[in-house]
Amino acid sequence: MSISRCAQSWIKGVAYHFGFSLRRLRVASRNAASGGDFTGKVRSLLHKVDPYEGFPWQSYPDDASGWGSASPAFGELVAAKRPQRIIEVGTWKGGSALTLAEHVAQLGLDAEIICVDTWLGALEMWTDQEDESRFGSLALKHGYPTLYYQFLANVCRAGRQSLITPFPIPSVTAAQWFALRDVRADLIYIDGSHEEEDVYQDLVSYWDLVRPGGVLFGDDWGWDGVRFAVERFARENGLTITHRHDKWELVRPA
């Protein structure tokens, strides 16, 4: 007899409440040699050549569509924290990164937004090939997604190349790179996979990269995988989950 999704969610919630744990995941280890906090521009470490240089953005449509990318939470957090560095985990077409960049520019902040994504699509992007907003947006060419180029075009069209730095790599690998380079951020936005273990791994990997007093926040509280992972991580670390509009937040103690 099959169990409904609702029943599965209830069972998982009860299991987590009584201490059921996802497999213990490895925290990205910091570079013990320096123990500092890199304050330069990450783009200088990542890209020897400007990733936007010579890109034919005019040949791509004006399409920065996404989910939750226009939330007022972005502006409130930028105004409250006045960040020098923002890391976004899961970027898609760049809608939320562009919203963050707009608020950074309005305040005249000398900040950098680093977008971590493979641009290959999460699980739900591949499960329904009739869904033009998800699978269709991958824009397969010879079987390989070309979404990254739509992201670049959106950034160029908005004129935000100086603020937004792409990091096309899996989220855990990026976290390990940040740790080794002593790169931390004032705001880290988690909006990648919605699968429980993936979300939990991102929380484990990126929490220590949040500067004291900074905020780790994310989207999609309505997804079971996101909610269970955040609740579990908060419980394990004695953290309080707060909500700002459509986003959840975890504040790192100062």
Domain presence at residue 184: yes
Chain centroid, CA 59 distance in Å: 27
> What does the pLDDT read at residue 132?
82
β-sheet with 247-251: strand ranges across: 164-167, 112-116, 85-89, 185-190, 210-218, 247-251, 242-244
Domain presence at residue 148: yes
Domain presence at residue 155: yes
> What does the pLDDT read at residue 227?
98
The sign of the dihedral angle between the CA atoms of 137, 143, 146, 148 is positive
Domain presence at residue 3: no
CA 152 – CA 91 distance, rounded (Å)? 11
> What does the pLDDT read at residue 43?
97
Domain presence at residue 179: yes
> What does the pLDDT read at residue 2?
46
pLDDT in tens, the chain (254 residues): 445 556 655 655 554 444 444 444 455 544 434 558 999 999 999 999 999 999 999 999 998 888 889 999 999 999 999 999 999 999 999 999 999 999 999 999 999 999 999 998 878 778 888 888 778 888 888 998 889 999 999 999 999 999 999 999 999 999 999 999 999 999 999 999 999 999 999 999 999 999 999 999 999 999 999 999 999 999 999 999 999 999 999 999 99
Domain presence at residue 120: yes
Task: Give the pair of three-digit tokens for residue 67.
Answer: 């989910």
> What does the pLDDT read at residue 139?
83
Please report, for the domain that includes residue 245, its CATH number: 3.40.50.150
Q: DSSP labels for 153-191?
A: HHHHHHT-TTTEEEE-S-HHHHHHHHHHTT--EEEEEE-
Domain presence at residue 38: no
- Overall number of domains in the chain: 1
> What does the pLDDT read at residue 19?
42
Domain presence at residue 174: yes
CA 112 – CA 40 distance, rounded (Å)? 9
> 205: domain range?
68-251
